[in-house]
Copies of this chain bind each other. A is one copy, B any other.
Amino acid sequence: MKSYTLGEIAKLLDVQLIGDDQVVINGLGTLRDAAPQQLSFLSNPAYIDQLSSCKASAVIIAENFSDICPTNKLISSAPYVSFAKASALFDRAPSPVSGIHPTAIVDNSAKLAKGVSVAANSVIGADVCIGENSEIGSGVTIGAGSALGKNCKLHSSVTLYHKVSLGSNVIIHSGSIVGADGFGFSFDGEKSIKIHQLGSVRIADNVEIGAGTTIDRGAIGDTVIGLGVKIDNQVQIGHNCIIGDHTIICGCTAIAGSVKIGRYCIMGGASGAVGHISIADKVQVSAMSLVSSSITEAGMYSSGTGHMKTSIWKRLIVRFQQLDSIAKRLKELEKPTDKE
């Protein structure tokens, strides 16, 4: 188990320590559940009541709340950011085995920079380039001509098709597939004829992609994922989408083809966007909402009805189907009567 003195942690997080710098910290905990020798944090003031009974040996906290913290404290102007940095200190995920596993199949023409590791049974195609210190998990397939930057991490069973390009510090979790054919067909009156997908996928630096996500290659041009974009599990991104820098896409979101999403957007879980639309910067879409036309203004958007007891809902959806009639009848009633 990794451990640090509180003094070491203060230094690593670059925050001010008020308290005992020799206390040993061996993990993290929430205010409610932390045990002694753990480090906690207060970010959301809603949890301020939990401070008094918190058993953590230290708390990351903003200066204005520090007086009421009963234990050692690390003063941070952004406690949740400092907590994120602290989480890296205690990550016990196993380190990759260094080098190329004997069962990995690396094409002779592939270029692997210094410090690259390739785990068992991975298959690296022709002319692939992998930047320094990138880690390739087991059972990964990287198609011919793909290029990865430095410090990338592809977990087990990731598939990159041919000619996909990743920047540096890109993380892709297991089972995700980048560069499969976009869904393009031409209908000849009888059957669908495949439109071969000639573009590819370009992913910028610092992108993280969850497990089981699919990002299709472009039909003619490329599908593009911007700088620092974070994509959760089981997200689908269609061909020729352009996702703006620092946008966050939560799990199970479905983005159809040729959608342009702005910078600093948040697509809520299981949300969706129909094809060929644009979404402005700083748009937030709530969970399971469908964006069915372009959004040109920052802000929060939703669709749906909210949940309710099914017995009530069944009456309401009947009423929903009467809405046009209701509106017309209301208008009728509003007309001045002859008497008036």
A interface list, Cβ under 8 A from B = 27-30, 33, 78, 80-81, 83-85, 87-88, 90-94, 103, 105, 119-121, 123, 125-126, 137-139, 141, 143-145, 155-157, 159, 161-163, 171, 173-175, 177, 180-181, 183-198, 206, 208, 210-212, 214, 216, 219-221, 228, 230, 232-234, 236, 238, 246, 248, 250-252, 254, 256, 268-270, 272, 274-275, 284-293, 295, 299-317, 319-324, 326-327, 329-330, 333-334
Contact = CB atoms under 8 A, between A and B. Distances in A.
A183 B250 contact: yes
17 contacts: A29-B220, A81-B187, A84-B185, A84-B195, A92-B162, A92-B163, A155-B180, A159-B175, A192-B230, A192-B246, A212-B236, A252-B252, A270-B290, A291-B307, A303-B304, A303-B307, A319-B327
A192 B228 contact: yes
A182 to B, nearest CB: 9
A230 B191 CA distance: 10
Contacts of A228: 191-192
Given A171-B194, A180-B210, A236-B252, 14 more contacts: A84-B184, A90-B198, A92-B162, A175-B177, A175-B212, A185-B230, A250-B256, A269-B272, A289-B307, A292-B307, A303-B304, A303-B306, A304-B317, A319-B323
Given A220-B29, A256-B250, A306 B292 contact: yes
B304 A300 contact: no
A210 B25 CA distance: 40
How many monomers of this chain does the complex have?
Answer: 3
Contacts of A246: 190-192
Given A303-B304, A334-B333, A233 B180 contact: yes
B301 A180 contact: no
A41 to B, nearest CB: 10
A81 B193 contact: yes
Contacts of A312: 321, 324
A306 B317 contact: yes
Contacts of A293: 307
B123 A119 contact: yes
Contacts of A333: 330, 333-334
Contact of A177 (B138, B193, B211): B211
Contacts of A219: 87
Nearest to A270: B254
Nearest to A337: B340
B123 A138 contact: yes
Given A185-B230, A309-B301, A321-B306, A272 B248 contact: no
Contacts of A315: 324
Contacts of A274: 268-269, 287
B288 A287 contact: no
Nearest to A89: B196
| Closest 7 pairs (CB-CB, A-B) | A300-B310, A84-B186, A319-B323, A87-B196, A252-B254, A180-B211, A91-B196
A236 B233 contact: yes
